[in-house]
Amino acid sequence: MTITHHPPEDLLADFAAGRLEEAHKLVVEVHVANCRRCARFVQAIEQLAGAALENVEPVPIAPDAFDRVMSRIDEAPKRVATPPLASSTDDDVPPALRKYRIGRRRRVAPGLSLRPIELSGPGKARAFLLRSAPGSRMLEHTHTGTELTLVLEGSFSHEGGRFGPGDFDYGDDEIDHRPIVGDEGPCLCLVAMTGDLRMNGLLGRLISPFVRL
């Protein structure tokens, strides 16, 4: 796998520091797991953070602090594991995502289908798997929020270049693009998204109410 497009360094730094909400963390995590370059960067950030902690002046804690923490853990309600909706043989679900509940596929536009990913924590971003048919062309659009996209299978292209397996694409309200899916096969992407798509042009405004991601 040759990865050409990577997350911005500030996004990787936030990932290393644990500052990303769950949907964004998921997309970056899957990319980092398959990208040696980004994995090394994250490791370097973590090592710098560890070195900084070693220089922090120790603060005394109460003698019973450990017992109180363990007591709170014991009193916390036990979470019941929920079986995944997708089986381990489901081709739409890569191994890294099989610990999540994956919803059923629904059609969102011609040649475009979506499977929502159930997240455990709060956050404004939603995560989903997006499958596009070979040769699909989306209308030119921008975003009312942010969109983190990781290609799992296939490819797509737009003004920013070609994106294949492992490549990461970042979109926000300052970027207009018109993705075109490659002809070699369906394109499967892991997406974390806040806000909505905003279609450009008259036709885009007409069909925008019918495209819900």
Domain ranges of the chain: 95-210
Which fold is adopted by the domain 95-210? Jelly Rolls (2.60.120)
Which residues in the chain come in under a pLDDT of 70? 49-62, 65-92, 94, 139-144, 173-177, 196-213
CA distance 168 to 35: 10
Q: For residue 169, give the 3-state DSSP assignment.
A: strand
Predicted local distance difference test score (pLDDT) of residue 171: 81
Best CA proximity match to 150, nearest among 23, 19, 20:
23
Predicted local distance difference test score (pLDDT) of residue 80: 38
Q: For residue 151, give the 3-state DSSP assignment.
A: strand
CA distance 93 to 64: 46
